[in-house]
Amino acid sequence: MSKSLHEVPVTTLKGVGAALATKLDKIGISNLQDLLFHLPLRYQDRTRITPLGMLQFGMDAVIEGTIAASDIVMGRRRSLVCRVQDGTGTVTLRFFHFSAAQKNSLKKGSTIRCFGEPRRGAHGLELYHPEYRIVSDSSAAPVEETLTPIYPATEGLTQPRLRSLCEQALKFIDNPDALQEWLPASVRDQHSLWPLTEAVRFLHKPPPDAELATIAEGVHPAQQRLAFEELLAHNLSLQQIRQRVRLQTGMALPGTNQLVDKFLGNLPFQLTGAQQRVFKDIHSDLSQPTPMMRLVQGDVGSGKTVVAALAALQTVESKHQAALMAPTEILAEQHYNNFSNWLKPLGITVAWLTGKTKGKKREQQLELIRTGEAEVVVGTHALFQDEVEFRHLALAIIDEQHRFGVHQRLALREKGRKIGAMPHQLIMTATPIPRTLAMSAYADLDCSVIDELPPGRTPVNTIVIGDDRRNQVIERVRAACKEGRQAYWVCTLIEESEALQCQAAEVTAAELTEALPDLSIGLIHGRMKPAEKVEVMNAFKEGHLHLLVATTVIEVGVDVPNASLMIIENPERLGLAQLHQLRGRVGRGSVASHCVLMYHPPLSQQGRERLQVMRESSDGFVIAEKDLELRGPGEVLGTRQTGLVSFRVADLERDKALLDTIKIAAEHLITIAPTHVQPLIDRWLPQGDQYADA
Ligand code: ADP
Ligand code: MG
């Protein structure tokens, strides 16, 4: 049996030495399989000769004719100009750089064949620096039989070079072992997929009649075949990670219900049906000796914190520690307050640790965590630094997962491994992840959804108006606050710069203080000291402030039920999911709430559509799906947030229609061809093992 192409280094090919190999490596090509998956960006048609009379501006073409004149012209730039005729018309070739040898070969009477893009010149169409050759006998110089690929290249790597390498690599796949077909015929039939080698061959050398428009869109069956396989491999890999985690030893935490029941008895409300159902999932996961890996999605205000507390209590009942990690100091602080209020009456010690916990206080907290005296620990990602030693951590709850991403998730598992057993993981996100994305980004997690809001909430009324009516909006704030309600005023900025955003908030706070002298106005932003932030937040919570001017730091988690009005400046700059998060800060009490989206005119068509979605829907899932539709997955998840691996061929947006079938195909493949799973993963995720181990 011959070698599989991923085992054949590019240096095997004719003409590839160390220098070229380095260049190829730069664009991710080290073996022949890489080379064949390095697909053309577009194609040129050199399969026929275009009569000069039919040449069109801007359309690449092969032409052939006789050189009627060849002169050096001294215009603004010295150039060599040849006039070529073929009986149907004429074209001018123009060379600004040319050698003496070149000039001699381009002499009157020679027959020349060129390829280039016609431009408009002073005397008709011109080709600048066309590729050309002098042909002595035209019939002996055949045109190309297939379209000519243009590859993604890099400096010092020319198209002819890449073409010749791919040509050589393509010869290898005549051997069926070289690029193995891992998709059984039944899978291919079911999803109408081309055989792999056929797809690869087609994309490198499409026939002259190939549908270039379809290829340009990336939806040609040959491309879809590869995208399908790649997505399938990713899905299989995530499933594999999930299975490996399941094989790890975890700690069974069956609980006793004592603390849970007491806690529920103390709550001023009943759990919603959805909260009960989701806790039931968690309860049963925690009772097993395999590590839980569960994602809880719940819209803003659906009451995820209570569910997290229940999970922590079950852990404490089973004599282990639970940790809750939040993405920001403010949110961590808030969770800490909630947990302290709920759990201290039950005799539970809650420790608190963030990057900003310093000195003696830090020592104290670390000690509580190490000895296990603190059964529950709340903090930021500082919790997972090396110096933090848990006595017996058995549950890690991560709030607002979308801000952490796959890598932190893996780091956490690593932490678990260091302490001998893998902690259970509960991941909570308030940014609903569109189902299709969840399937690719979070296929390693089980998922529960809190799909019901606590009773008695009145939906937020959302208003979209231009900032030319700012004064009216300010009046509205005054009126609401006079009625004893509280309001947020959120400042946004395009720039990623937190400093600028904070500055804008400071300016706005000053303006509003001037405009509304009878209101007490607070300011909160990311650059304030944690203690200051807490102070402002508490003042707002306790009703000492009417209006809180804020940056998007208040996006997640902040919970002040009496706040029923929110103004968001320049909402067109934010993603819909983020707007939904922000808006979720109001509508938490029983009075009717309002959210004013105060945009800066003029709005683009897409901007208008997006704000319209906010007006019409209050369902985070609907909004997320719409956002995905309007902006695509990269934007929606944001690279920072996803940990999504990048794809070679597939494109989550373009290929989202495939995603539904991928899951079915993956299950099918595992059943009928389990031995194909690993080779498929290895083909598309050669670094996959790093993840798989974690
Ligand atoms: P989120 O899911 O956005 O994190 P929280 O956990 O902050 O939501 O809950 C939002 C508010 O709803 C809190 O004030 C919380 O106490 C309250 N809450 C949670 N569950 C219920 C319930 N079942 N009935 C009434 N209020 C609830
Ligand atoms: Mg929350």
For residue 562, which ligand has an atom nearest its CA?
1
Which atom of ligand 1 is nearest the CA belonging to 302?
A: 2
Q: What share of the chain in percent tops pLDDT 90?
A: 54
More confident residue, 414 or 75: 75
SS3 content of the chain, % helix, strand, coil (to 5): 45, 20, 35
Fold match between 48-135 and 460-617? no
Which atom of ligand 1 is nearest the CA belonging to 307?
A: 6
For residue 338, which ligand has an atom nearest its CA?
1
Rounded CA separation 255/289 (Å): 13
The answer to which of 295-299, 366-370, 375-379 has the lowest mean pLDDT is 295-299
Q: How confident is the model at residue 171 (pLDDT cuts 50, 70, 90)?
A: very high
Assign 440 to helix, strand or coil.
helix
Q: How confident is the model at residue 84 (pLDDT cuts 50, 70, 90)?
A: very high
Which atom of ligand 1 is nearest the CA belonging to 450?
A: 2
The Å distance, Cα 576 to ligand 1 centre, comes to 22
Which atom of ligand 1 is nearest the CA belonging to 561?
A: 14
Which atom of ligand 1 is nearest the CA belonging to 306?
A: 6
What is the chain's Cα-based Rg? Answer: 32
> Residue 690: is its pLDDT beyond 70?
no
- Report domain 460-617's class: alpha beta
The Cβ of residue 499 has, within 10 Å, a number of other Cβ atoms equal to 12
Strands 61-73 and 111-116, sheet pairing: antiparallel
The Å distance, Cα 482 to ligand 2 centre, comes to 29
> Residue 390: is its pLDDT beyond 80?
yes
Task: Let me know: does 366 contact 389? Beta carbons within 8 Å.
Answer: yes
Mean pLDDT of 187-191: 93
> Residue 481: is its pLDDT beyond 80?
yes
> Residue 299: is its pLDDT beyond 90?
no
The Å distance, Cα 389 to ligand 2 centre, comes to 26
Strand order in the sheet with 594-599: 461-466, 594-599, 563-569, 486-490, 547-550, 521-524
Ligand 1: residue of 297, 305, 431, 450 to mutate (most ligand atoms within 8 A of CB) is 305
pLDDT at 643: 42
Contacts (Cβ under 8 Å, ≥6 apart) of 510: none
> Residue 407: is its pLDDT beyond 70?
no
- Nearest CA-CA partner of 62 in 48, 78, 76: 48
Mean pLDDT of 146-164: 90
pLDDT at 406: 57
Mean pLDDT of 96-100: 90
**Residue 182, both tokens:** 């891992």
The Å distance, Cα 344 to ligand 2 centre, comes to 20
Q: How confident is the model at residue 305 (pLDDT cuts 50, 70, 90)?
A: very high
Say which CATH superfamily domain 48-135 falls into.
Nucleic acid-binding proteins (2.40.50.140)
More confident residue, 116 or 414: 116
Which residue's CA is minimally distant from atom 16 of ligand 1?
303
- Distance from the first to the final alpha carbon of the chain: 34
pLDDT at 28: 86
For residue 302, which ligand has an atom nearest its CA?
1
**Residue 521, both tokens:** 């106005």
The Å distance, Cα 331 to ligand 2 centre, comes to 8
> Residue 636: is its pLDDT beyond 60?
no
> Residue 52: is its pLDDT beyond 50?
yes
Q: How confident is the model at residue 356 (pLDDT cuts 50, 70, 90)?
A: confident
CATH architecture for the domain at 258-450 = 3-Layer(aba) Sandwich (3.40)
Which residue's CA is minimally distant from atom 26 of ligand 1?
454
Rounded CA separation 156/663 (Å): 41
Rounded CA separation 99/77 (Å): 15
More confident residue, 641 or 68: 68
The Å distance, Cα 24 to ligand 1 centre, comes to 55
Which residue's CA is minimally distant from atom 14 of ligand 1?
559
For residue 452, which ligand has an atom nearest its CA?
1
More confident residue, 106 or 247: 106
For residue 308, which ligand has an atom nearest its CA?
1
The Cβ of residue 186 has, within 10 Å, a number of other Cβ atoms equal to 12
The Å distance, Cα 565 to ligand 2 centre, comes to 19
Strands 42-44 and 148-150, sheet pairing: antiparallel
More confident residue, 388 or 402: 388
Q: Which residues pair with 214 in a beta bridge?
A: none
Which atom of ligand 1 is nearest the CA belonging to 308?
A: 6
The Å distance, Cα 429 to ligand 1 centre, comes to 14
Element (H, E) at 591: none
The answer to which of 134-138, 256-260, 531-535 has the lowest mean pLDDT is 134-138
The Å distance, Cα 304 to ligand 2 centre, comes to 6
The Å distance, Cα 344 to ligand 1 centre, comes to 19
Strands 79-85 and 61-73, sheet pairing: antiparallel
Which residue's CA is minimally distant from atom 25 of ligand 1?
454
- Nearest CA-CA partner of 577 in 657, 504, 642: 642
Which atom of ligand 1 is nearest the CA belonging to 271?
A: 23
pLDDT digits (tens, 9 = 90+) for 444-463: 788 899 989 898 777 899 99
> Residue 147: is its pLDDT beyond 80?
yes
For residue 541, which ligand has an atom nearest its CA?
1
Ligand 1: residue of 302, 306, 403 to mutate (most ligand atoms within 8 A of CB) is 306
More confident residue, 348 or 580: 348
Assign 214 to helix, strand or coil.
helix
> Residue 387: is its pLDDT beyond 90?
no
> Residue 688: is its pLDDT beyond 50?
no
> Residue 598: is its pLDDT beyond 90?
yes
Task: Let me know: does 62 contact 76? Beta carbons within 8 Å.
Answer: no
The Å distance, Cα 309 to ligand 1 centre, comes to 12
Ligand 1: residue of 264, 267, 277, 302 to mutate (most ligand atoms within 8 A of CB) is 302
Helices 605-616 and 620-631, packing angle to 10 deg: 170
User: What pTM did the predictor assign?
Assistant: 0.68
Which residue's CA is minimally distant from atom 18 of ligand 1?
303
pLDDT at 542: 92
Rounded CA separation 255/259 (Å): 9
Q: List the Cα angle 475/481/484 in 5-degree steps.
A: 150
Which residue's CA is minimally distant from atom 13 of ligand 1?
303
The Å distance, Cα 582 to ligand 2 centre, comes to 12
Task: Let me know: does 491 contact 470? Beta carbons within 8 Å.
Answer: no
Burial of 449 (0-12, 13-18, 19+ CB in 10 A): middle
Mean pLDDT, the chain, whole residue set: 87
The Cβ of residue 500 has, within 10 Å, a number of other Cβ atoms equal to 13
Rounded CA separation 341/339 (Å): 5
Mean pLDDT of 647-672: 85
- Nearest CA-CA partner of 296 in 398, 387, 370: 398
Contacts (Cβ under 8 Å, ≥6 apart) of 623: 432, 576, 577, 580, 613, 614, 617
For residue 303, which ligand has an atom nearest its CA?
1
Question: Where are the chain's structural domains?
Answer: 5-43+148-210, 48-135, 258-450, 460-617
Which atom of ligand 1 is nearest the CA belonging to 304?
A: 2
Helices 605-616 and 576-583, packing angle to 10 deg: 40
Q: What is the DSSP letter of 293?
A: E
The Å distance, Cα 429 to ligand 2 centre, comes to 8
The Å distance, Cα 559 to ligand 1 centre, comes to 9
Which residue's CA is minimally distant from atom 12 of ligand 1?
303
Q: Which of 11-20, 192-201, 379-388 has the highest mean pLDDT?
A: 192-201
Assign 515 to helix, strand or coil.
helix
Which residue's CA is minimally distant from atom 9 of ligand 1?
303
Give the pocket of ligand 1 (CB within 6 Å): 269-272, 275, 298, 300-306, 430, 454, 559, 588
pLDDT at 416: 58
pLDDT at 581: 83
pLDDT at 639: 41
The Cβ of residue 604 has, within 10 Å, a number of other Cβ atoms equal to 9
In Å, how far are 297, 335, 428, 651 from 401, measured between CA atoms? Answer: 10, 15, 6, 23
> Residue 202: is its pLDDT beyond 50?
yes
Which residue's CA is minimally distant from atom 10 of ligand 1?
301
pLDDT digits (tens, 9 = 90+) for 211-229: 988 998 899 999 999 999 9
> Residue 689: is its pLDDT beyond 60?
no
